[in-house]
Amino acid sequence: MELLVNDRSLHGQFADLGSFRDAIERVMEIRRSAQGFSRVLYCHRNLAQARVTPKMTMPQAVQGLGSDERRALMQWFTRHGPFWEDTRKHPPGDWLEWKGEVVTDTAVGEAGWCCLNGIERALVSFIPSDWEFSPVSVAWISETSGTRTVDIGNYWTPESSVESALRDASAPLASWRGL
């Protein structure tokens, strides 16, 4: 199972830098858990420019963090990734929705398309946000095939069973023999 940071869950909702620091620490803790299972947490390159508070963008907010935190975050979000759009599976012309909102070109759309096509993916969301629920139901709408819907896992705290899901997921392929 691959994990994607839910870019829709970061929408300027944090009241101050302290609440953002708590949220980003939870996401980083999930990232470390994923690494413990030989997995990575993918993000989108645009996450580096997301709105964190009503008046602050990610680069401004990150300046208020300690130098080690700041460096780790900005390297992840801008240089090293991994970035899900580099290995994007859903075509840009596809139509994916969540509750009637278009989610094509987002982590929600990518995870939904992948799950519909047999690729295990789940979301990691920032909290507090409008994304503190699981599963997330994504619809793929096709003019020729109709609508197909899939439920994808969504995690927002290290204790939200992300480790259990990683433990139960198929092991990542590490060799030709494993394939």
Residue 27 has pLDDT above 90, yes or no: yes
Q: How confident is the model at residue 176 (pLDDT cuts 50, 70, 90)?
A: low
Q: Where are the beta strands (DSSP E) in the chain?
A: 2-5, 41-42, 51-53, 56-57, 95-98, 101-102, 121-124, 136-142, 146-152, 154-155
Q: What is the pTM of this model?
A: 0.87
Residue 154 bridge partners (DSSP): 123
- What is the reported pLDDT for 38? 87
CB 27 within 8 A of CB 14: no
Q: How confident is the model at residue 63 (pLDDT cuts 50, 70, 90)?
A: confident
- What is the reported pLDDT for 118? 93
- What is the reported pLDDT for 128? 94
Q: What mean pLDDT is predicted for residues 11-24?
A: 93
pLDDT digits (tens, 9 = 90+) for 83-99: 999 999 988 788 999 99
Can you tell me which residue has the tokens 């197909």? 148
pLDDT digits (tens, 9 = 90+) for 126-168: 999 999 999 999 999 987 778 999 999 999 987 667 766 766 6
Q: How confident is the model at residue 170 (pLDDT cuts 50, 70, 90)?
A: low
Calculate what percentage of the chain has a pLDDT beyond 90: 61
Residue 65 has pLDDT above 60, yes or no: yes
CA distances to 117, 129, 142, 179 from 134, in Å:
20, 13, 25, 31
> Which sequence spans correspond to the domains of the chain?
2-168
Distance of CA 164 to the CA centre of its chain: 17
pLDDT digits (tens, 9 = 90+) for 101-112: 999 999 999 999
Mean pLDDT of the chain: 88
Residue 139 bridge partners (DSSP): 97, 149
Query: DSSP code of 76?
Result: I
Q: How confident is the model at residue 100 (pLDDT cuts 50, 70, 90)?
A: very high
Residue 30's CB is within 10 A of a number of other CB atoms, namely: 24
Nearest to 148 by CA among 105, 174, 115: 115
